[in-house]
Amino acid sequence: MFRARWLKESAERTVQCMRATNKSCGAKRTLITVGGGARDCKRASVRNTFGRTESWTKQVRFNSITSSTDGTTVPEDVAKLSIDDYHTHAEATFEQVLEELDAFFEEQRIMEAEVDEEAGVMEINCSEGTYVINKQPPTKQIWLSSPISGPKRFDYHAGQWVCLRDGVKLADLLQTEMSQMYGEFKWTKPF
């Protein structure tokens, strides 16, 4: 029942988008099928006025607030973040995490912990397991897999990496979990 309702709503949104897109050229298209591939796109097959079937794809951003794909509730600064700005902020964050955790582990003489970064993927090996932090340029997010709190996706919002689903900040989450394992840990600046 839910899937049928979702398909109907999805088809209606797709037709509305197609009408808006093709209004200026006056093309008439009839919806045949609607489907979704990955969570970030919608596909529709349409029959045009000449009877030919054509595929139509509309790229939409995955919205981690409501798990919908229409992108309506994504904060404006997140939606308008350029890919260049994303890379700048993500690189600065990765550098800070790498340098500060490496220095912390060395100062505290924590030999079992290690931080390594290669090709946009950072691994933090700790007593509780392995953290994996990686960049996701298509969605302009940083993804974290934590052995303690599980997976989260972070968007660059209001100057910090924030999980839009629950409001948790990447810096706060890592700081809390490192402090739980190894004693007092603080970042020199928020990210």
Q: Tens digit of pLDDT for each residue in 84-124?
A: 999 999 999 999 999 999 999 999 999 999 999 999 999 99
* Cβ contact 46:32 at 8 Å: yes
Dihedral pair phi/psi, residue 190, rounded to 5°: -70, 155
Answer whether residue 125 is part of any domain.
Answer: yes
Q: Is the pLDDT of residue 29 over 80?
A: no
- Are residues 55 and 116 located together in one domain of the fold? no
Answer whether residue 107 is part of any domain.
Answer: yes
pLDDT of residue 51: 59
Query: Given the DSSP bridges, would you call strands 114-118 and 53-59 parallel, antiparallel or unpaired?
Result: unpaired
Which has the closest alpha carbon to 90: 137, 149, 125?
137
Answer whether residue 27 is part of any domain.
Answer: yes
For 142-175, write each residue's pLDDT tens digit.
999 999 999 999 999 999 999 998 999 999 999 9
Q: What is the CATH number of the domain that holds 172?
A: 3.30.920.10
Answer whether residue 122 is part of any domain.
Answer: yes
- Are residues 168 and 109 located together in one domain of the fold? yes
- Long-range contacts at 121-125 (CB < 8 A, ≥ 24 apart): 122/94, 122/97, 122/98, 124/97
- Are residues 53 and 103 located together in one domain of the fold? no
Which has the closest alpha carbon to 98: 115, 119, 110?
115
List the structure tokens of 153: 């996706």
pLDDT of residue 182: 94
Query: Given the DSSP bridges, would you call strands 114-118 and 129-136 parallel, antiparallel or unpaired?
Result: unpaired
What's the domain range around 92? 79-182
What pTM was estimated for this model as a whole? 0.63
For 61-88, write each residue's pLDDT tens digit.
444 443 334 454 789 999 999 999 999 9
Edge-to-edge strands of the sheet including 114-118?
114-118, 121-126, 129-136, 141-146, 150-157, 160-162
- Are residues 131 and 83 located together in one domain of the fold? yes
